[in-house]
Structures are given as structure tokens and as C-alpha cells.
């Protein structure tokens, strides 16, 4: 399992957030930051594809170190 922080421009709608239950969302004025643990690279690709399907622009993806804290 690997922890990630994914930032996208705009707001992630409630339906998509419910589907991405493994990630928590922090909404900032123009960016939504999703943070959580994903089981493998395939799951990361799935999350990114779902965000893209909703027309959300990717700002940043960060793989979190153990020093960044466990998001769970």
C-alpha cells in the first residue's frame, strides 16, 4: 500500500467522492486535494482516469513518505 496526495483544479462532486471512499478530500478555494492509501499502481490509474472523466485538471500527484504521516 502506498499513500498519495492528488491535487486537482476545481471541486470533486459528492458522487465521485463517495466512489473514492479510500481517499479523503480537502477543499481549498480553487483546488481539491485528495489524500489516502491506494493498494497498487492500477488503483492509482483508475482514480486518475475517473478524475479525468469528470473533466478535472490534474495539478499534482505526490507519493507520500512515511514522514508525511499515514492518511488513515
Domain CATH number, residue 19: 3.30.70.250
For residue range 42-64, list pLDDT tens digits in order.
Answer: 999 999 999 999 999 999 999 99
What is the pLDDT, as a whole number, of residue 65?
84
Residue 61 CA from chain centroid, whole number: 8
Q: Which domain holds residue 53?
A: 2-68
Q: What is the CA radius of gyration of the chain?
A: 11
The structural domain count of the chain equals 1
Whether pLDDT at 26 is above 70 = yes
Q: Which residues lie closer than 8 Å to 18 by C-beta, 6 or more apart? A: none
Share of the chain above pLDDT 90, in %: 86
What is the pLDDT, as a whole number, of residue 72?
46
Cell of 45: 490509474
Q: Decide: 4 and 44 in contact? Cβ < 8 Å.
A: yes
* Mean of the per-residue pLDDT values of the chain: 90
Amino acid at each position: 500500500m502506498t499513500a498519495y496526495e492528488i491535487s486537482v483544479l476545481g471541486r470533486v462532486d459528492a458522487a465521485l467522492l463517495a466512489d473514492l471512499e479510500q481517499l479523503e478530500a480537502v477543499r481549498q478555494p480553487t483546488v481539491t486535494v485528495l489524500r489516502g492509501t491506494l493498494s497498487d499502481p492500477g488503483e492509482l490509474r483508475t482514480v486518475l482516469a475517473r478524475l479525468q472523466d469528470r473533466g478535472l485538471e490534474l495539478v499534482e500527484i505526490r507519493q507520500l513518505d512515511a514522514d508525511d504521516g499515514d492518511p488513515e
